Amino acid sequence: MSTTDIRIGELDQYYFGQGTHYDIYHKMGAHPTVIDGKKGVYFAVWAPHAAEVHLVGDFNGWSEESHPMTRLEPLGIYELFVPGLGVGELYKYMITTRDGRKLYKADPFANGSELRPGTASKVADIENLKWSDGTWMKKRRAQNPDQMPVSIYEVHPGSWKKHPATDENPDGFYNYREIAQSLTAYVKDMGYTHVELMGIAEHPFDGSWGYQVTGYYAPTARYGTVEDFAYMVNYLHKNGIGIILDWVPAHFPKDACGLAEFDGQPLFEYEDRRKGEHPEWGTKIFNYEKNEIKNFLIANALYWVEHLHIDGLRVDAVASMLYLDYGRNAGEWVPNKYGENKNLEAVEFFKHLNSVITGRNPGMMMIAEESTAWPKVTGAPEDDGLGFTMKWNMGWMHDFLDYMKLDPYFRSHNHNRMTFSLTYAFSERFVLVLSHDEVVHLKCSMINKMPGLYDDKFANLKVGYSYMIGHPGKKLLFMGQDFAQFQEWSEARELDWYLLGEQKHQQLQNFVKALLHLYKSDAALYGLDQSWEGFQWINADDCSRSIFSFIRHSEDQKSNLVFVLNFTPVAREDYCVGVPQSGTYKLVLNSDEEQFGGTGAERPTSYRAKKDECDGLPYRIEYPLPAYGVAVFKYTKRAPKEAAEKKAPAAKKTAAEKKAPAKKTAVKKTAAKKSTKTEK
């Protein structure tokens, strides 16, 4: 309960009208408070086109007349304080339109809601949430997302795990508090750094997966209250796990209780249907020209980030916002003032949004799901970029899946599908994604996309995931795909966890776990994600054998990794790979281990590089590469100067002690110098 005066004042209206009242959510909506010594709830709603607004709810028998609200000018905000009310009260706004219609609307700023199929808002107290994640939040402000490991586990909470159905919980949903504990244990064990939660903002239809939002400020009641949600965030943070939410500023549904024609006329949406509706999706589009709407959305993002401690927002359907002709035929859209298809208001909205969010919250991530080649999505707004922290790499995802679906016989002719992404890998700050969108609507699960018979499918998936982990960019994997869920995902049922009782599924999970822990623990795989300094092809052209080999460099050159990946069922017992220097290469990941479903054949853990040109590099290591084999080697790069200094004293000592072999020693010394020069 708030102990300060939260009533709407003149300055509140001014800043809201300017689009810069970033903490407006503390005043708009429904807030338990004390006014003139009386405890109650203060309500405020923006409805400028309304003739009248009444507050209705259980507390007054849903009476249309008993609780009229007072209009504040100049913005048309209606307010009312009701003594005696508290947390948990159900309510709506009954809006009388100028043409006499009566609309029952949920509160756009509500912090709680009734469980569907009910659509009423519910009074919640957001001023006294309990937090003990100060260490995490301090660390977040000091971090640079570019240089840290980000491996994201994408989760739909309602179908991740379910309880058996009961009368009290017919859907079997886990509460946010239960999710916190179960999800934390799984994510920590697997080695993910972040979870990305789908469908958290309140939405009426389960089948929308949370992408048609009616309650932007309310964690969905499916899993509990805002206090329960805060507990989950706090618990994950205290266990070192970051949290990203799907956020949907692109559109909203036409449900009668929601934002569509909120006060009898278009308010949140564009008035012109050619700009204000998605013809394919049947939804409304926010009016990015209007300051109050931009304020509603930016304050909402800040609510999740600052008030509820969320570490990142994955912004859905960015392309649909940027292009005026998105999903429209000729004649169904309105060009901008330059005659182009760019939505200039949406562009400015993104610049404003991202500048405020990341400017006020260093270390926080704004991630764009942008499916086109729009330039500078992650560029700075002052350089005409949109200001996002990262962008989903949809191009990589499509090429990768197209390649992986192929019979290995045909992969040699499609080698470029796997190498093409490196031509643009550093043009944006990318996240490599294998998301929920790729395992629904008859697209098959990841394991069933793979070619071949049963064993081949698992082997293909292991080498495919290895390429993903080795490729520059942050990582995202949808739930179930780390243990080879066979069924396509459905929001109506939980994952097929029973599969982990079968050997192949457990072995695949073991391998993904090893990949994730290697990624998180080795700076070579994330520290230089945004630069060619962190990546080096060894052989990008071995198309006849469908083998890819490359190096990931760490900034300090003390943790460099060599990846060798075989995408065919043909073993290469005499395989040689070029390496840049002499020394010992330690095998840190071997897919042929028995725990990963391999043969378990014994092999050395260390390999000494030989002085012999291979793949255009001066040294080589020999390794028997299995069918669909994955081998990752670790080495520390020695500076050429240090190598020469190390060899020189040994040569002098030998010459001083034994004059006869001095000539041989000189030859060795010359060879050492030559080797050093080659390394340079």
Give 488's contacts (C-beta < 8 A, 6+ positions apart): 439, 440, 441, 442, 443, 444, 445
345 burial (CB, 10 Å; 0-12 / 13-18 / 19+) is buried
Distance CA 212, CA 120 (A): 17
Distance CA 645, CA 671 (A): 14
Distance CA 180, CA 189 (A): 14
Tell me which residue of 358, 364, 361 sits closest to 386, measured CA to CA.
Answer: 358
576 DSSP β-pair partners: 622
SS (H, E, C) 548-597: EEEEECCCCCCCEEEEEEECCCCCECCCEEEECCCCEEEEEEECCCHHHC
Tell me which residue of 404, 393, 422 sits closest to 551, measured CA to CA.
Answer: 422
Please indicate whether residue 369 is annotated as part of the active site: yes
Dump strand ranges (E) for 483-545. 535-539
The residue from 345, 369, 482, 529 that is catalytic is: 369
Please indicate whether residue 316 is annotated as part of the active site: yes
Distance CA 58, CA 218 (A): 19
φ, ψ (nearest 5 deg) of residue 483: -130, 20
Q: Which residue has the tokens 């989760």?
A: 155
Distance CA 271, CA 346 (A): 16
Q: Which residue has the tokens 């009701």?
A: 82
What DSSP character marks residue 624? -
Tell me which residue of 552, 564, 615 sits closest to 591, measured CA to CA.
Answer: 564
Tell me which residue of 559, 564, 550 sits closest to 527, measured CA to CA.
Answer: 559
For residue 12, what are its two tokens? 């509140």
The residue from 196, 316, 438, 522 that is catalytic is: 316
Residue 43: what residue type?
F
CB 44 within 8 A of CB 79: yes
Angle at 44 between CA 42 and CA 45, to 5 degrees: 155
Give the catalytic positions in this structure. 316, 369
